[in-house]
Amino acid sequence: MNVTKALAGMCFALVLVAGCSPTDHRVIMRALTAQLANEYHACVPLGWNPVSVAGTYYPGRSVEYQDASWLPPLWIGSVGKDEVTGPQTRATYAVLNELVRVGMLIRRRTPLGFRYHLTPRAVPYYFASNDYGNNPDDVPYLCYSTMVPLRVTWNQPVHIERGADGSPVRVFRAGFEWRASPDASWADAMLRSHGVLLAPTQSPVVAKFVDWKGAWYIENIESPLAGRSTVVDGAAWPSVTPRP
């Protein structure tokens, strides 16, 4: 086993029992790697169209179907026959059908149009939460790459700040460089052209660590650069007011 990796793992395990310092760069890298293992970077909007504005985007029209059953599926999309050529649904419909073609969705005909469901293959790539501020609207995506931490560049010492409730909290921040993982095999050129890049979109970034009952957790990720979520190709999606 690599000695550096072994020491980092040992330090990470011993932080809770008064071993290594939580600001040791090997310990920080271990925490970043573990906690950001599924932090998505590049994604395909699932059943909705992003509307570009001021260098970022907001969720536009959605075809997600709200199933009120006791145990609803993870995600359902519904497109009516009269919507498939509409200006606000055309791109979404094309993306859904491409996801069917590459095995990520199942499409079924209904009397009124089409229903879409995730396949088992798609479930690990599904993302609809907001762990570090990169999805504030909790909209659904299928994501095809993740953040991969590379190197810790600096850190603050552990210090006290006030939490949301005003109580004192032990915190520190650490800057780190990262890269995107290779794209998942199902993300072909068409899907990537309709993709978005979740914030942060550039490296390096800053992670804020908070002590919660002796364990250090990433509370948020901040970017000193322009780190807002962006659309890969704005021309791939409709504008707010479709041109005639």
**Largest interatomic CA distance in the chain:** 67
Count Cβ atoms within 10 A of the Cβ of residue 115 and give its class: 0-12 exposed, 13-18 middle, 19 or more buried: middle
**Residue 217 pLDDT:** 93
CA dihedral 128, 105, 122, 189 (to 10 degrees): -90
**Residue 134 pLDDT:** 86
- Within 13 Å of residue 238, how many CA atoms lie on the same side as its CB? 21
Residues, the chain, total?
244
**Residue 149 pLDDT:** 97
**Residue 16 pLDDT:** 44
**Residue 227 pLDDT:** 67
Distance, CA of 13 to CA of 32 (rounded, Å): 14
Residue 45 tokens read as 């909007």
Per DSSP bridges, beta strands 196-197 and 215-222 are unpaired
**Residue 20 pLDDT:** 74
Model's pTM, two decimal places? 0.84
**Residue 78 pLDDT:** 94
**Roughly what angle, to the nearest 10 degrees, separates helices 3-14 and 25-35?**
80
Mean pLDDT per 10-residue segment, the chain (244 residues): 39 47 94 93 96 87 82 88 84 96 97 95 95 88 97 96 89 97 97 95 94 91 79 82 40
**Residue 4 pLDDT:** 37
CA dihedral 71, 59, 132, 119 (to 10 degrees): 40
